Copies of this chain bind each other. A is one copy, B any other.
Amino acid sequence: MPEHMTAPMGDGFDQMARDAVYRAMFTRRDVRSHFLPDALDDEVLARLLLAAHHAPSVGFMQPWNFIVIRDAARRADVRELFLAARELELPEIEEERQALYRKLKLEGICESALNICITCDRQRSQGSPLGRWHNPEMDLYSTVCAVQNFWLAARAEGVGVGWVSIIEPQALKSLLSIPEHVTPIAYLCVGRVSEFAPKPDLETHGWGRRLPLPELIMSETFCGQGEVPLKSAVAHLNAVACAPADQRVAPAVPQREPPNEASALSFNSLNFDDASASRASQAGSGTWPAMVLK
């Protein structure tokens, strides 16, 4: 094992802890279809909000608020906004993709345990725009960081999150009495789920594919060639994760069960996928690239 995988332990994250952070990222999903009717404990929700509240913010501005929406009638109204917005968005989609667009489930507003609207108060530290004078949108970006913290923490708690962006923002502001100087950043459906899908829904349904990361890396300037060793390292990570099972190095745990069942037993299996993870209990750490789903 390369030295860097074991050596820099001075920061308190051992390999299992690092793996857990990556696992939250690689298995996080934008959930629409798998919400359960179960309630969400306030203790869990409190942790998710505390995670969001520890996002970075420009000038330590912390511009976010969290509107928790539980009322069924209000959620039905939000869903009406979604349905209206979808009808307006549909004709903007390439014609050959409109049938697929219609079939996609794009929200879980009413069937999730609750909804949260995360907003950005643009006036919170008006007098001292540290870091925002040249880039006034930085407070919006800080709020997005809070959304992503919330989402990743939720994944680690087994809680699904779906971000509904097909909605007319002024109509949403009006429905939630959001004042003019506050921007709604994310309308989230939140709740326990039956599973986290092994791949993004849009990939599964053929809407898009994961782009090859090496092609997105540039050197020194936009479109700058170079970084060959870095791109090789990226390609190697993906290759290990995506190689057919029989071309992979032997897993750390002997495969005593048929492949699918074996992969349910441990993250050490290179057949890791998240559906098997759902069946695993108390699963530990494992070979890192095995967690990468393409």
Contacts and interface: CB of A to CB of B under 8 A. Distances in A.
Given A10-B281, A25-B54, A25-B55, 11 more contacts: A11-B155, A13-B158, A22-B156, A46-B233, A49-B217, A62-B208, A67-B219, A71-B220, A89-B131, A145-B147, A152-B152
Nearest to A164: B131
20 contacts: A4-B43, A9-B158, A9-B282, A13-B24, A17-B20, A18-B20, A25-B54, A28-B54, A46-B234, A49-B213, A56-B151, A67-B221, A68-B218, A88-B133, A89-B130, A92-B133, A125-B208, A148-B149, A177-B223, A179-B222
Nearest to A233: B46
A34 to B, nearest CB: 12
A178 B220 CA distance: 11
Contacts of A135: 165, 167, 169
Nearest to A235: B46
Contacts of A236: 46
A246 interface: no
A14 to B, nearest CB: 5
B284 A167 contact: no
A192 B74 CA distance: 48
B216 A64 contact: yes
A284 B224 CA distance: 42
- Majority secondary structure of chain A interface residues (helix, strand, loop or mixed): mixed
Interface in A175-191: 176-179, 182, 185-186
Contacts of A245: none
Nearest to A93: B128
A261 interface: no
B54 A129 contact: no
Interface in A52-70: 53-56, 58-62, 64-70
A163 B213 contact: no
A211 interface: yes
A2 interface: yes
A167 B151 CA distance: 29
A156 B217 contact: no
A53 B21 contact: no
A134 B68 contact: no
Contact of A8 (B14, B149, B192, B216): B192
Nearest to A264: B12
Contacts of A163: 56
A50 B178 contact: no
B156 A21 contact: yes
